[in-house]
Amino acid sequence: MSILDNRAALKAEIYRVAEVAGYLWMKGWAERNGGNITVNITEWADEPMRSLPAISGTIAIGITLPHLKDCWFYCKGTQRRMRDLARDPMGNGSIIRITPDCAHYEIIADSPVAPTSELPSHLAVHDYLLAKNSPYRASLHTHPIELVALTHSKKWMEKDAATHMLWSMIPETKAFCPRGLGMVPYMLPSSVELADVTIKAIGDDYDVVMWEKHGVFAVDTDIMSAFDQVDVLNKAAQIYISSRNMGFEPDGMTDVQMKELTDVFGLPK
């Protein structure tokens, strides 16, 4: 018996997460247990679901997140592999409920799979998104190879340097990732400090944030949309690196050409 039984919309959302997890593994962006996914599923928590008892004790988040009161999340499990989540999302992840004090959570279903160790960081971002009435409900952390490679050069860590270059590689990058790529200098993974600067970068109007020498953190309305943004940005990085490997610096689109895209498609930047 699964919490997904007779809940078609919720099941579809969780299996969308499983689909994305499979893509991350196939692309080589999710080695071992690398990467994390959290999705706010509160809108699919019906009354019978809300009355379910917890299957874990009450667990401290480590911070108080006032906008997450009684919210529900699907979370990838700690030490679980994306390739395993792809075939069995409820065996390698869990559904949790934030308690009324906004400082603890309980595991509700299907098994007591402990959420990702980066849960406090992910939840802090979700709290921020709800506070500003954002429609974004999904967060993704993964390790796209070419984008991570760029961060090993200080040149591309300068504000919007990578954004401008990636946008110029192919028109679709600017069209489908119109807010660009925020850059965050190296910080200890899973740290509160990393969460804080990531939230600041999102607040500076980025949907995808690059963590130096580590990976990306992306937010969007659903997990597939978050994945799509990372996928498009990494394709642009591949085009740049392929050009360099062929022995030349790519010309890229001109500023005039990119301005035309912004004007014609009504892009935010």
Measure Cα distances from 264 to 53, 177, 229, 259 in Å: 53, 15, 20, 9
Any long-range contacts for 197-206 (C-beta under 8 Å, 24+ apart)? 198/121, 198/125, 199/124, 199/125, 199/128, 202/125, 202/128, 202/129, 203/128, 205/179, 205/268, 205/269, 206/179, 206/180, 206/181, 206/182
SS3 assignment, position 54: coil
Instruction: Tell me whether residue 118 is one of the annotated catalytic residues.
Output: yes
Catalytic residue among 118, 146, 172, 193: 118
Residue 115 DSSP code:
B
H or E element, residue 224: helix 223-245
Measure the CA dihedral 157/162/163/167, to 10°: 180
Give the residue numbers annotated as catalytic, written as ranges: 118
